[in-house]
Structure 1
Amino acid sequence: MLGLIDQFGYFGIAGIVFIESFGVPAPGETAIIAGSAYAGSGHFNILVVAVVAFLAAVIGDSIGYVIGRRGGRPLVHRFGRYVRLTPARFEKVEGFMSRQGPKIVVVARFVEGLRQFNGIVAGVTGMPFHRFLVWNALGAALWVGVWSTAGYLAGDHIEAIAHAVSRYVVVAAVIVVLALVGYVWRRRRRRRRTTAARLDIS
């Protein structure tokens, strides 16, 4: 991600955030953190990073809203599986939106899975666009503010932080794999015992 942001600069940050905001799973938060970390180390301007990310988030979500409003539920059910928006997941997100409305538009920015489909679901459920735009802008401002501040404060230490986190991720992945292997082995062993017991009875 650091290499990508270094190569494409502000356009890289805007592109990733924009794509994520209208429904395509992408590492938007990571892009903002990486761009802000570069700003903290003197390579970018933090205000430009924040403004670019904010505009990309609001415009991307607005496009998602139009897709949901024009295409409706049939479009989501037909093509949603390509961006991990299954009918079951859509119904769950739609339920949140129907019950909470504007609050979900703001909170969804910080929730993986809700963030990507925020605009689409708001459009499908018929939330007025002016209302959606206001709350979406507020959510985007808070989201960008939090992650750009975190990245900026990390500054030159971002690579060291990423390296340390990656080691913990690797260790966690190894533990999970070993746990799964142990679970499968125990399950097979139990099945063999059950099969052997049935053969002895017969």
Structure 2
Amino acid sequence: MTTQSLATTVADWAIGLMETLGAPGAGVAIALENLFPPLPSEVILPLAGFTAAQGSLVLWHVLVWTTAGSVVGAVLLYGLGAWLGRVRLRNIVDRMPLVKLEDVDKAEAWFTRYGSWAVLIGRLIPIVRSLISIPAGVERMPLGRFLAFTTLGSAVWNTLLVGAGYLLGEQWHIVEQSVGVFQRAVILAIVVLVAWWLVRALRGRQDQDTPRHVRKR
């Protein structure tokens, strides 16, 4: 399925939900988008804004319900992370090639220090906005703090995209195109970071496998 056909399919599906359920339908769509990132919020949210501009929905109802949907989806992923927990995560990592437990320790220390900001800023970044809830659950970030930062970040993201769709009217699809460029940049950055990490891990393994007397030469 091409990107264009996916956007059309998601748009038709979201319209059906909103026609059936009203503003809560937009909330359901966004909750599912959090759980299944391939569902693009950059299609659902501007479309909801455009629908509100047509008078079929009330704008502030859309903002409330989409933010509620974002929080529900994020809490479910937080629960998944909490169920996984440190012990299961460390057991999984310990069986994986090229991954060291010390890398997990560093990630835990970083999240302990910057976790609140990571959740807040992560809610404003495509792809990351869904996945950031899992490490928050693994690290058992206090639920109240998680909810506060998730709600704030989600409200900002939803307001920007819904508002853009409301103002652009029939040109709401421009939002999807603009966010798509940003999303591709995020994916590229993730690929580069993963490639860098793999090279670093492979070099570390080679150094471990090389006898000391050979390394000194």
TMscore range, shorter length: 0.5 to 0.7
Alpha-carbon contact 1:21-1:61 (below 8 Å) kept: yes
Q: How does 1:1-202 map to 2 (within 5 A)?
A: 1-9=10-18, 10-22=23-35, 24-72=37-85, 74=88, 97-158=111-172, 161=174
CA change 1:27–1:75 in 2 (3 A) is: farther
CA change 1:102–1:115 in 2 (3 A) is: same
CA change 1:76–1:47 in 2 (3 A) is: farther
Alignment coverage as a number of residue pairs: 156
Alpha-carbon contact 1:25-1:116 (below 8 Å) kept: no
CA change 1:158–1:22 in 2 (3 A) is: closer
Alpha-carbon contact 1:151-1:158 (below 8 Å) kept: yes
Moved more, 8-17 or 117-126: 8-17
CA change 1:146–1:76 in 2 (3 A) is: farther
The amino acid that maps onto 1:2 is: A
Output the aligned Cα RMSD. 3.3
Q: Stretches of 4+ moved more than 6 A in 1? A: 75-78, 91-96
Inter-partner Cα distance in structure 2 for 1:76 and 1:138: 31
CA change 1:112–1:51 in 2 (3 A) is: same
The amino acid that maps onto 2:139 is: T
> How much has 1:134 moved relative to structure 2?
1.1
> How much has 1:96 moved relative to structure 2?
6.2
- With normalisation by structure 2, the TM-score equals 0.60
- Give secondary structure in 2 for the equivalent of 1:112: coil
Inter-partner Cα distance in structure 1 for 2:91 and 2:160: 33
Larger Rg: 1
Alpha-carbon contact 1:33-1:150 (below 8 Å) kept: yes
Inter-partner Cα distance in structure 2 for 1:107 and 1:137: 12
Structure 2 unmatched ranges of 5 or more = 1-9, 93-98, 182-217
- With normalisation by structure 1, the TM-score equals 0.64
The amino acid that maps onto 1:6 is: I
CA change 1:107–1:67 in 2 (3 A) is: same
CA change 1:136–1:158 in 2 (3 A) is: closer
Inter-partner Cα distance in structure 1 for 2:141 and 2:75: 12
Inter-partner Cα distance in structure 1 for 2:79 and 2:133: 8
